[in-house]
Amino acid sequence: MKNKAFPFCKSGWQLDMMPAGYLMIEHRLIERMVRLMVQELSRMRKHNKASVAFLDKAVDFIRVYADECHHGKEEDILFYAMNKKKLAPKHRKMMDQLVKEHVLGRKSVQRLVKARELYAQGNPRALKEIKKQVKWLIEFYPKHIAKEDKGFFIPCMSYFNKRQQENMLLDFCRADGPNIQKNYREAVAKMEQQYK
């Protein structure tokens, strides 16, 4: 499928890939943010303080890119389509488990936001909860991503013929709109320079 079929998708990616490839590319950007969070957790432990500015950027990335954009495509497009198929029990079980993990991730981010608000208001005890939630997220995402990349996404493509995969890829691009991929790649690159 040629890029001209996706006038609203300016990701610059090859759009003749499987939908799984699109999601796996997003995983690489999420991993870059996780590495930044690992570095920030190390700084928090060393200096016993948190950067509210960093936390705000990390939370925005996780909420908008990792959850709304990425998990949104998984749940609202891929999993929705899979629910219409007769799935092997192992794939059904894994899909249900992935949805539960998404919910756990959202809860951790909510706790992080609450702790960040308390910390910004001058409550130093909130730092402990910030560290706890950042640690949880940097442990969660690599395992969650590995589960999807290594044991789920590629096998799931076998439930869809070529035309269905092309339509799903088109739905992914529509869901993203023209700028989200570019904007968040640029945001992460800027953070990589700023928080070395």
Separation between Cα atoms, residue 153 and residue 95, nearest integer Å: 10
- The yes-or-no verdict on residue 60 having pLDDT over 50 is yes
Place of tokens 């432990």: 45
Structural domains present in the chain:
17-194 (1.20.120.520)
Q: At what angle do helices 89-120 and 126-151 cross, to 10 degrees?
A: 160
What are the φ/ψ torsions at residue 167 (nearest 5 degrees)? -65, -40
* pLDDT band with cut points at 50, 70 and 90 for residue 51: very high
Q: What is the mean pLDDT of residues 64-83?
A: 97
- The yes-or-no verdict on residue 11 having pLDDT over 60 is no
Q: How many residues appear in the chain?
A: 196
Separation between Cα atoms, residue 5 and residue 170, nearest integer Å: 8
pLDDT tens profile 166-184? 999 999 999 998 899 999 9
Name every residue whose Cβ is closer than 8 Å to that of residue 180 and which is 6 or more positions away in sequence. 64, 65, 69
pLDDT tens profile 93-139? 999 999 999 999 999 999 999 999 999 999 999 999 999 999 999 99
